[in-house]
Amino acid sequence: MLDPALLRADLAATAERLRSRRGYALDVEALGALDAERKRLQTRTQELQNLRNTRSKAIGQAKARGEDAAPLLAEVAGIGDELKQSEARLDALRGELEALMLGIPNLPQDDVPQGRDENDNVEQHRWGTPRSFDFAPKDHVELGQRDGWLDAEAGAKLSGARFTVLRGALARLHRALAQFMIDLHTGEHGYDECSVPLIVNAESMQGTGQLPKFEDDLFATQVGDSRRYLIPTAEVALTNLVRGDIVEDAALPMLLTAHSMCFRAEAGSYGRDVRGMIRQHQFEKVELVAVARPAESGDVHERMTRHAEIVLERLELPYRRMLLCSGDMGFSASRTYDLEVWLPGQNAYREISSISNCDAFQARRMQARWRNPATGKPEPLHTLNGSGVAVGRALVAVMENHQQADGSIAIPAALRPYLGGADRIG
């Protein structure tokens, strides 16, 4: 959530900055009208409260003097009726304003490039050189089907489209990738490993920005009157660990990681990447989350991005880092790097990790603060999140980049300890 004071101080300028977010235009007229009515009603409510208190005191004084207090009692009753109506309308206005505020995306940082979509993203650097094959490389679907390792038909039989069953050596390789990533981030990068619920309440989804705007993209459960949501990423659970808290300065920066299942309905994305494991309704990811002091979140963002890059380098996968333009960033992000891994089967770089600084946007939604030692007062902290990395897409990248002419897959040295020392599968 944006700082309400920013909107009130310079609504027009803020709306202009938000125009760079793809598909979004702030309804300045509606927001201004609601806020103006809120101010008027708030002033009138305070006037009525003061008037009621003054008249109530006068009633006591009149009775003490033995005077007829009936006219004053009638006046107080009338004031009370108007006050109830004013308070009710003020509460409704606050609800309308909050709903409008919850639908406003984060502001891009000043150095984020302006643009509409992925074509306007800016490449920062590349690592590794795409491999030249002396045979026609296959994509991961062809490689996985040969030995029955990757079974989309079984997934569809059990659950429907965009679910996959992994078997045998490929299932083991998938598990090894997740274990390798968690060990790297906890052992070398300083993250605290967490095991988090896969089902969360609406408050958690609202805190990180999935609700109310993106409810159609979520899977939900309903038990009696209780509605809960399957997490689209462990970011939701990890970030909400500080919801409603005041974090002491000594605990910052807080670095958290979790390996979890993720669930995304992805309404409106049908027709995109329907083949194979690139875009699934259920997938696994190793998530990185940081809770930081505002002054250091930029440095933490760079560190987190480097941590995700190291995963790809250890797996010997060529990649490039992209700085996303304003129109291609996620709802809660103020600045985002995408890491795109090279996939020979598509002859293209594809996103495998997205690392975002959200500034205080999520913290305001969650009422998550830190105690600034300089002032001793609680202030909104900064939150960051990113993939470290998506396990299924890493599996696809390892399969395609390390495939051999006979259809086997060479195993990067970093993964061999997790596979009993094997240097290839298949």
* Dist. CA 341–CA 389, nearest whole Å: 11
User: Is 234 annotated as contributing to ligand binding?
Assistant: yes
Residue 411 DSSP label: P
Q: Which of 283, 257, 271 is nearest to 396 (CA)?
A: 283
- Which DSSP symbol is given to 333? -
> What's the length of the chain?
426
Place of tokens 């930029």: 298
According to the annotation, is 264 in a ligand binding site?
A: yes
- Determine if residue 351 is labeled as part of a ligand binding site: yes
Other Cβ atoms within 10 Å of 151 Cβ, number: 17
Please classify residue 394 by burial: count the beta carbons closer than 10 Å to its beta carbon, then call 0-12 exposed, 13-18 middle and 19+ buried. Answer: buried
408 annotated as belonging to a binding site for a ligand: no
C-alpha distances in angstroms, 193 versus 179, 183, 238, 257? Answer: 12, 9, 10, 5
201 known member of a binding site: no
**Is the Cα dihedral 188, 191, 192, 196 positive or negative?**
negative
The CA angle 407-409-410, to the nearest 5 degrees, is 135
235 is in an annotated binding site: yes
Residue 124, token pair as written in the block? 């920062």
Q: Which of 392, 89, 126 is nearest to 263 (CA)?
A: 392
- Give the catalytic positions in this structure: 264, 279, 351, 354, 393
State the amino acid at position 3 in one-letter form: D
Instruction: Give the closest residue to 262 by CA, choosing from 241, 243, 240, 237.
Output: 237
45-53: long-range contacts, CB 8 A cutoff, minimum separation 24: 45/83, 45/86, 45/87, 45/90, 48/79, 48/82, 48/83, 48/86, 49/83, 51/79, 52/76, 52/79, 52/80, 52/83
297 is in an annotated binding site: no
Structure tokens at 335: 């600045």
Is 204 annotated as belonging to a binding site? no
Q: Is 254 helix (H, G, I), strand (E, B) or coil?
A: strand
Does 96 belong to an annotated binding site? no
> Was 296 annotated as part of a binding site?
no
Q: Is 387 assigned a ligand-binding role in the annotation?
A: yes
| Residue list, annotated binding site | 233-235, 264-266, 287, 351-354, 385, 387
Binding-site positions for ATP read 264-266, 351-354
- Residue ranges of the annotated binding site for L-serine are 233-235, 264, 287, 385, 387
